[in-house]
A and B are shown apart, each in its own frame.
Chain A
Amino acid sequence: DADVTQTPRNRITKTGKRIMLECSQTKGHDRMYWYRQDPGLGLRLIYYSFDVKDINKGEISDGYSVSRQAQAKFSLSLESAIPNQTALYFCATSVHSGSPTGELFFGEGSRLTVL
């Protein structure tokens, strides 16, 4: 089983619908992240959380919200999906070993299509 698991792997939805992407990890890492990948734009950070009580906006947080339900779970929500949120979404984790930040461990990605 994957250490970082994302559900669903693929989802097609309609404009205006609420969507939740879930991420769970068995790596025991404190830090979790949500990135969005678009062709030609690379990966951009949506939200990140360094522990259960710490949630921070990334560079493209508008239209998204997150919930850190436990150390192992970090969910991303689109309250009212719009077509330009069609993208590949990645959850990632990293261990807090002090500075500097180390390797990110990625889930397998969730491809979201908003019609």
Chain B
Amino acid sequence: AQTVTQSQPEMSVQEAETVTLSCTYDTSESDYYLFWYKQPPSRQMILVIRQEAYKQQNATENRFSVNFQKAAKSFSLKISDSQLGDAAMYFCASPTPAQGGSEKLVFGKGTKLTVNP
């Protein structure tokens, strides 16, 4: 079974500092998207950022950016200028083959981020 590994169950960062959450994945797909989702205490799943695997340029969304290393199958999330509202569970997701030649998403176990004032 193809897997997504988030090696840091918990991380903490000081407000205004930068933190990087790691993710490695294992997919046999050649063309795919990778995703980071955020789950605050409200439990809503919110898309943070998406990376297209065929694009060499790392995706950025305001204070959020990724370091995508396709050959190493690594997809880390960097949060700059951390804010209290960034405190949440963060999940990495990558595709795995599904029925009919399509794909479905597999999620990592998550990293709980604490932001200290």
Contacts and interface: CB of A to CB of B under 8 A. Distances in A.
Contacts of B4: 42
Contact of B44 (A58, A101, A102, A106): A106
Contacts of A43: 91, 107
A46 to B, nearest CB: 11
Contacts, number: 73
B100 A50 contact: yes
B17 interface: no
A42 B100 contact: no
A35 B93 CA distance: 13
B6 to A, nearest CB: 8
A101 B105 contact: yes
Contacts of A56: 98-99
Interface residues of A, number: 28
A99 B103 contact: yes
Given A104-B105, A108-B44, 16 more contacts: A33-B104, A41-B109, A42-B6, A42-B91, A42-B110, A43-B91, A54-B99, A90-B45, A92-B45, A100-B33, A101-B102, A102-B33, A102-B50, A103-B47, A109-B43, A111-B43
Interface of A: 33, 35, 40-45, 48, 50, 54, 56, 58-59, 88, 90, 92, 96, 99-104, 106, 108-109, 111
